[in-house]
Amino acid sequence: MATVMTPLNEQAYQHLQNLIMDNQFSYHEIYSETKLAKELGISRTPFRDAIHRLAQEGYIDIIPNKGFMLHQLTKEDVNETFQIRSALESYCTMQICKESGSRKAGRLFKELTKIMEKMEKVMTSSHSIDEFCEFDFQFHTQIINYLENEQFSSIFATFMYRMKRLAKLSLSHSGRMENTYKEHMDILNAMKSGDVEHIYDITIQHMERPKGINLEDL
């Protein structure tokens, strides 16, 4: 069977996206497209395609005739991100509640429980925001992917970078890690018990609390 090669522009996009997600770029610094493409060994055309895609997805801002820099989040970004998260996740948790007795939901609950155990371990040991944030998004990604809706998963993935940045900011506040853990347990328990009546409010409250923190920080 012939190996399917990933297009160069997709390779460039994934590479740059990973560098951004791993905090390899600095804020307030303008990066030259030509210089960076040469340093990374990426040809100019696929590199430029990747840059424009990253700009469209909110990772970076293109500075005409100079290059690009990391996008600085605004209050509009925060509100937009939480509106999208609230719409997607409240719908997903509601559907999971309705199917709480199914085998599929049972498998999800087992996975979420394992993730919660890892979050608790971080919370009671290293207290690492990066580690906790990673498990936090594993929890939410599992909920989104449960519906097997490619559009939902794609939208969620597009906003992942922005969501992680906001999550790390809110988790740096005293007590937010513990509150996040509790809110996750509330969501998980409501889904497991099929609590259709309260799951929407529980999910929305989990979105609203960090949003308030993020808006105050900007």
Tracing tokens 């600095």 back to the chain, one arrives at 26
Helix then strand then coil, % of the chain, to nearest 5: 70, 5, 25
pLDDT level of residue 91 (50, 70, 90 thresholds): very high
Three-state SS for 61?
A: strand
- Specify whether the CB–CB gap between 93 and 191 falls below 8 A: yes
- For residues 58 and 112, which has the higher predicted lDDT (pLDDT)? 112
Distance CA 218, CA 208 (A): 16
- Looking at per-residue pLDDT, the higher value among 215 and 142 belongs to 142
pLDDT at 212 over 90: no
Query: Is the model's pLDDT at 143 over the cut of 80?
Result: yes
Amino acid letter, 158: T
According to CATH, the topology of domain 8-70 is Arc Repressor Mutant, subunit A (1.10.10)
Residue 202, pLDDT > 70, answer yes
CA distance 87 to 110: 24
Q: What is the pLDDT of residue 3?
A: 56
Indicate whether 178 pLDDT > 90: yes
What residues does each domain of the chain span?
8-70, 75-217
Q: Is the pLDDT of residue 4 over 80?
A: no
Predicted confidence (pLDDT) at residue 2 exceeds the cutoff of 90: no
CB of 109 closer than 8 Å to CB of 99? no
pLDDT per position as a tens digit, 162-176: 898 899 889 999 999
Distance (Å, whole) CA 203 – CA 38: 46
**Whole-number mean pLDDT of the chain?**
92
Pair 209, 179: CB distance under 8 Å: yes
What's the pLDDT score for residue 115? 98
Does residue 128 contact residue 171 with C-beta atoms inside 8 Å? no
Q: What is the CATH number of domain 75-217?
A: 1.20.120.530
- Tell me the CA end-to-end span of the chain in Å, nearest whole number: 52
pLDDT digits over 24-78, tens only? 898 889 999 888 888 888 888 999 999 999 998 889 999 998 999 999 889 999 9
Can you tell me the distance from the alpha carbon of 36 to that of 42, in angstroms, rounded to the nearest whole number? 8
Contacts of 120 (CB under 8 A, 6+ apart): 181
**Is the predicted pLDDT of residue 191 greater than 70, yes or no?**
yes
Distances (CA, A) of 174 to 49, 178, 213: 41, 9, 11
Whether residue 17 has pLDDT greater than 90: no
Specify the DSSP element, H or E, that contains 70. strand 67-70
**Structure token pair of residue 37:** 């493409």
